[in-house]
Amino acid sequence: MTGEPSQTDLEARLVEQEFRLLRIVKNWLAYHGEEQPKHLREASTLALKSLAIRVLVGFLLLGGTSGLAIYSLVLAHEANALFKAQNNLLRAQADEVLAVTVNPHANGAVRVTGYDFGRLGSVVQFPWLLTISNTGQQRLSVTNYRIVGHKGAVYSGLDGGLFDHEMRPVSFPLVLQSGEAVELVILVGHMIPTDVIDRFPVSASGTELLDTVLTKHLAAQGIDVFGNRVTAIGPDGSGSYTFHEPEKAPVFTFVLQTARGTSAIAECSKYGIPRVDSP
């Protein structure tokens, strides 16, 4: 199955299938020179030849003026279809299409911040994967992003920064060519109950606490990072577990914007979209 015609093909076909006498002559005068684009020069010449044949056929075989009119109506219908195809192509080229997806299952280092909000808990940043894609027909520049916490909350430590896979900070604008995508690491700050943080493993000096290590450690104690009661399953604390009740986890909203004002939004939680909201 063939795709939509290219812009060059559409231009040539529109000129070639022109049915108005004055427009045909005008196109030929404008494009017949050697310095003009080849596809337009050839199309305007074919249109002029077609006009001559149309006039001859109309008058000799189809009853003069009436035959010419019928043939012109057929060409007019074809030209309208070409105009529609061209408009669709130009619209696709003009529109930016930015897409973003979030994967909460990156096994990176967890950061326990110094942001303590008392009974609400303290902020712990978890590494997630953020994939930004340019699915449109033109280059775009991502100029900024923001994270919105659960139920619209904004607090210190919520956004731990955007990094490449070597944990080097990403700078803006982020330019993406048509069809290009980039996967980045974003640190998302979660409010974790103090009594859960107290049960975090004590890491040796200079070592990182990986998300999977933390998950296994807490699952062996019958809880997850949010205090949900779980039962560890699998061999030797594999990190897999089942919930005693529908899990609760905060949902975060990620908003990205381009220089032209195009936005993309994604929502995610540590367990995808939870069945029950956190209080």
Q: Where are the domains of the chain?
A: 7-94, 98-268
Mean of the per-residue pLDDT values for the chain?
Answer: 80
Instruction: Work out the pLDDT band at 175, boundaries 50, 70, 90.
Output: very high
Tokens of 98: 């930015």
pLDDT, residue 279, reads 33
Task: Name residue 233's beta-bridge partners.
Answer: 240
pLDDT tens-digit profile of 250-261?
A: 999 999 999 988
User: Which conformational region is residue 129 in: left (phi greater than 0), alpha (psi within -120 to 50 degrees), or beta?
Assistant: beta
Instruction: Work out the pLDDT band at 194, boundaries 50, 70, 90.
Output: very high
CA distance 96 to 138: 7
Contact yes or no for 263/255 (Cβ under 8 A): yes
Is the per-residue pLDDT at 272 higher than 90? Answer: no
Contact yes or no for 46/53 (Cβ under 8 A): no
Over range 255-279, report the average pLDDT: 75
Is the per-residue pLDDT at 218 higher than 50? Answer: yes
pLDDT, residue 278, reads 34
Q: Write the CA distances from 125 to 46, 71, 166, 242, integer angstroms.
A: 67, 71, 17, 23
The angle at the Cα of 215, spanning 208 to 205, to the nearest 5 degrees, equals 20
Instruction: Work out the pLDDT band at 242, boundaries 50, 70, 90.
Output: confident
pLDDT, residue 113, reads 92
Return the higher-pLDDT residue of 7 and 36. Answer: 36
pLDDT tens-digit profile of 25-80?
A: 877 787 778 778 887 888 888 878 877 776 666 566 555 555 555 555 555 555 56
pLDDT, residue 168, reads 95
Tell if the pTM clears 0.85, that is, is over it.
no
CA distance 272 to 276: 12
Q: Which of 13-17, 185-189, 228-232 has the lowest mean pLDDT?
A: 13-17
pLDDT tens-digit profile of 109-122?
A: 999 998 999 999 99
Instruction: Work out the pLDDT band at 188, boundaries 50, 70, 90.
Output: very high
Least Cα distance to 190 among 132, 144, 125, 242 occurs for 125
Contacts of 164 (CB under 8 A, 6+ apart): 170, 184, 185
pLDDT, residue 50, reads 78
Instruction: Work out the pLDDT band at 140, boundaries 50, 70, 90.
Output: very high
pLDDT, residue 232, reads 73
